[in-house]
Amino acid sequence: MASGGTTGWQASVITLFPELFPGPLGASVIGRGIERGAFSLETHSLRDFATDRHRTVDDTPAGGGAGMVLRPDILARAIDHAAPEGDTRPRIVMSPRGVPLTQERVRALAAGPGAVIVCGRFEGIDQRVIDARALEEISIGDYVLAGGEVAAMVLIEAVARLLPGVLGAGASAGEESFEDGLLEYPQYTRPQSFEGREIPGVLVSGDHGRVAQWRLEQARELTRTRRPDLWARYRP
């Protein structure tokens, strides 16, 4: 399955469940980005590269243990099909043991031609295909999911938001959490009073300088208290 244009940022997803896509990626501004050709999304069913009549893609783990492991030969065929010789896109596998996904990595991916993303299942993927195809292991958090599809959607959405022609307001992406090393400041809108809680006066003062300073102070305090790891790296 493919959607979107053939130019711009291109995501190729290898999965046992292509029917899960585009899923939430087909909605709202991200979905409209696909429709406008700001980026493209295609899926490749891993079972299409199996060689037996049962379309088997996994086998028991060497050395014993529970569960099944995705076979390297079948996955390698799928990767080579999705990214033939000359394709310069990074090859990524979503994995809980991978390097944590950061906004910095998202920006780097958005600046490139796209990505080939492998969605793992079962107990994991044979290490030999990870090594042989130079797969970059990326994690979206310290927890385990049933498969890599949701994680792949997270990565694609994070990148898509930064692509030209996806978000309507050019400044909005640059003022959100992690873009400047800080968490985002609190947001407010009408009504002025909600259950006895008021919008902070500075935000309705009309003084843009005071508003900017208040937002910066709030972002710094939230980061300091909620994410000391980010705060330790923050350089104003």
pLDDT for res 171: 44
Residue type, 25: L
38: alpha, beta or left? (left if phi > 0; alpha if psi -120 to 50)? alpha
Return the closest-CA partner of residue 11 out of 149, 130, 133, 160: 160
Tokens (6 digits) for 193:
């009073």
pTM attached to this predicted model = 0.90
pLDDT at 44: 98
Where does CATH 1.10.1270.20 sit in the chain? 176-233
Question: What would the CATH number be for the domain defined by 176-233?
Answer: 1.10.1270.20
> What gap in Å lies between CA 74 and CA 78, rounded to an integer?
6
Residues 166/158, Cβ–Cβ less than 8 Å: no
Is residue 164 reached through a cis peptide bond, with omega within 30 degrees of 0 on the bond before it? no
Give dist(CA 105, CA 56) in Å, integer: 34
Burial of 194 (0-12, 13-18, 19+ CB in 10 A): exposed
CATH number for 2-160 (one of 3.90.1170.50, 3.40.50.720, 3.40.47.10, 3.40.1280.10): it is 3.40.1280.10
Helix H, strand E, coil C: the string for the chain is CEECCCCCEEEEEEECCHHHCCHHHHCHHHHHHHHCCCEEEEEEEHHHHCCCCCCCCEECCCCCCCCCEECHHHHHHHHHHHCCCCCCCCEEEEEEEEEECCHHHHHHHHCCCEEEEEECCCCCECHHHHHHCCCEEEECCCCCCCCCHHHHHHHHHHHHCCCCCCCCCCCHHHHCCCCCCCCCCCCCCCCCEECCEECCHHHHCCCHHHHHHHHHHHHHHHHHHHCHHHHHHCCC
Which residues belong to CATH 3.40.1280.10 in the chain?
A: 2-160
10-residue block means of pLDDT along the chain (236 residues)?
67 98 97 96 98 96 94 98 98 96 97 98 94 98 96 98 84 65 94 96 97 97 96 92
